[in-house]
Amino acid sequence: MMALFSRKIPFAEAARALTADLRQNGLTSAVSPELEELSRLLREHEPKPVVEDTGDLLQSVLEALPDPAGVIERDGKLSRSNYQLDALLGPGRSIGRTLLEATRSVDLADAVTRALGGATERRELTLPALQKIVLASVAPVARNRALLVVRDLTEQKRSEATRRDFVANASHELRTPVAAISGAAETLLSGGIALDETARSFVEMINRHCSRLTRLTQDLLDLSRLEAGEWHVEMSALEVQPLCEQAIELVRARATQRKITLSVDSPARLRVLADRRALEQVLVNLLDNAIKFSPEGGRVTLLADGTSSHIVLSVIDTGAGIEPRHLERIFERFYRVDSGRAREAGGTGLGLAIVKHLVQAQGGEVGVESGQGGSRFWVKLRATASGHISKGP
């Protein structure tokens, strides 16, 4: 009996063992009612092991998600799904089936395979069996399983396509009347008809706004083509220094008007893999933007640098800088840091949006850094090894 106290055990267990030992040895009289009651009370109040219903908890979490979601087992089959995923895939198309069987999407099946191997995947893809466009996120979870979350983008993409078509059609239709008005204004200003001072000022205003409308419609058409994937880039190996110098020459007249000093800093023999026409437009847009927002007498520098894998092109100005709250939205269409100043400078609000799409079409990145001493817009593109270099258009 004393062996019970030779090791550390819970008191309730010791009381039960002591009672049993006394009875086994015929010492029932030693088992007092108080000890019996103590043993019973301790059994009742002893902490119970917590047993969680993990299945119900997991299902509750899935149902709480606003988007279609499910759990994929190591064999690639769905073991759990929420109501939204069942509604997306349809009755009988989820539990116990692979996503390839349910959606016929090879890309989604590949993302699941990679997630089950430990990689997190996030892809925008089409589900052929459902005729839907979705953003699928697949992440590995415990027990060699994966969590799938799907966001249906079908209606959003359809709305974007409708908007692009409308903008493109409207811009195309505007080109003819704007060109006619501009031509008439230019004819009047060239001296075809004698104009008094008041009439000339009105015609000059018409011509000025026609030029702005022409730039706006052209930018809208370019942006619509980029978003629709109709701007086909032709990638080739290009020397960076001649491209930079050519872009500087294309904006030199505007810089001279504002007394802006232009400079190029590009090491010789830097080579970039890019589309010549697209990269030239990117540089011209960034330089033009820097000139507009630099004070008279300021400086704009086009800087090129690179490594064996990437080339970085930077346009640096000495303007007032951009407040941090604007930086995340600076590449959005029609977004202006200072609307009044931008319109006065003749901007359309689309130049930086076009830059972003052109750079992305070439597989690159674009960004901005800014402070009180000015701004730096940068473009990162792939470098190319030595070999055949395209030097001319």
Greater confidence (358 vs 45) lies with: 358
Nearest to 299 by CA among 259, 331, 272: 259
Nearest to 381 by CA among 178, 229, 244, 180: 244
213-219 mean pLDDT: 81
Query: For residues 314 and 283, what is the distance between their CA atoms, to the nearest angstrom?
Result: 9
Q: Are 49 and 57 in contact (CB under 8 A)?
A: no
Q: Band of the pLDDT at 2, cuts 50, 70, 90?
A: very low
In the sheet with 365-371, reading across from the earlier edge strand, the strands are 261-265, 299-306, 310-317, 374-382, 365-371
12-31 mean pLDDT: 52
Q: Decide whether 54-152 matches 236-382 in CATH topology.
A: no
155-160 mean pLDDT: 85
44-65 mean pLDDT: 65
Tell me phi and psi for residue 340, to 5 degrees. Answer: -65, -45
Tokens of 64: 């709480």
What beta strand segments (E) does the chain contain? 69-72, 78-81, 121-127, 132-141, 145-152, 236-239, 261-265, 271-274, 299-306, 310-317, 365-371, 374-382
- Say if pTM beats, i.e. exceeds, 0.75: no
CA–CA distances in Å: residue 315 to residues 33, 129, 186, 326, 356: 92, 47, 34, 18, 14
Task: Identify the CATH class of 236-382.
Answer: alpha beta
Q: Band of the pLDDT at 56, cuts 50, 70, 90?
A: confident
Task: Identify the CATH class of 54-152.
Answer: alpha beta
Predicted pLDDT of residue 36: 53
Per residue in 79-91, pLDDT (tens digit) is 988 989 988 888 7
Per residue in 163-215, pLDDT (tens digit) is 778 877 887 888 888 889 888 888 888 876 788 889 889 988 998 888 888 87
Query: For residues 137 and 147, what is the distance between their CA atoms, to the nearest angstrom?
Result: 8
CA–CA distances in Å: residue 224 to residues 172, 176, 221, 260, 363: 11, 18, 5, 32, 19
Predicted pLDDT of residue 344: 52
Per residue in 220-235, pLDDT (tens digit) is 887 777 777 777 888 9
Tokens of 300: 């704009």
Predicted pLDDT of residue 329: 85
Tokens of 230: 């109709």
**H-helix or E-strand containing 238?**
strand 236-239
Q: Are 83 and 63 in contact (CB under 8 A)?
A: yes
Q: Are 284 and 250 in contact (CB under 8 A)?
A: yes
Does residue 368 register a pLDDT over 50?
A: yes
Tokens of 366: 């674009």
**First-residue to last-residue Cα distance in the chain:** 101
Tell me, what DSSP letter sits at residue 49? P
Q: Are 362 and 211 in contact (CB under 8 A)?
A: no
Report the chain's mean pLDDT, rounded to a whole number.
Answer: 81
Tokens of 228: 């629709």
Tokens of 337: 């840091």
Q: Band of the pLDDT at 353, cuts 50, 70, 90?
A: confident
Query: For residues 14 and 220, what is the distance between their CA atoms, to the nearest angstrom?
Result: 85
Most confident of 4-8, 72-76, 368-372: 72-76
Q: Are 346 and 340 in contact (CB under 8 A)?
A: no
Where are the domains positioned within the chain? 2-45, 54-152, 156-227, 236-382
Q: Band of the pLDDT at 8, cuts 50, 70, 90?
A: very low
Query: For residues 47 and 10, what is the distance between their CA atoms, to the nearest angstrom?
Result: 11
Per residue in 105-150, pLDDT (tens digit) is 999 999 999 999 999 999 999 998 888 999 999 999 887 889 999 9
Does residue 321 register a pLDDT over 90?
A: no
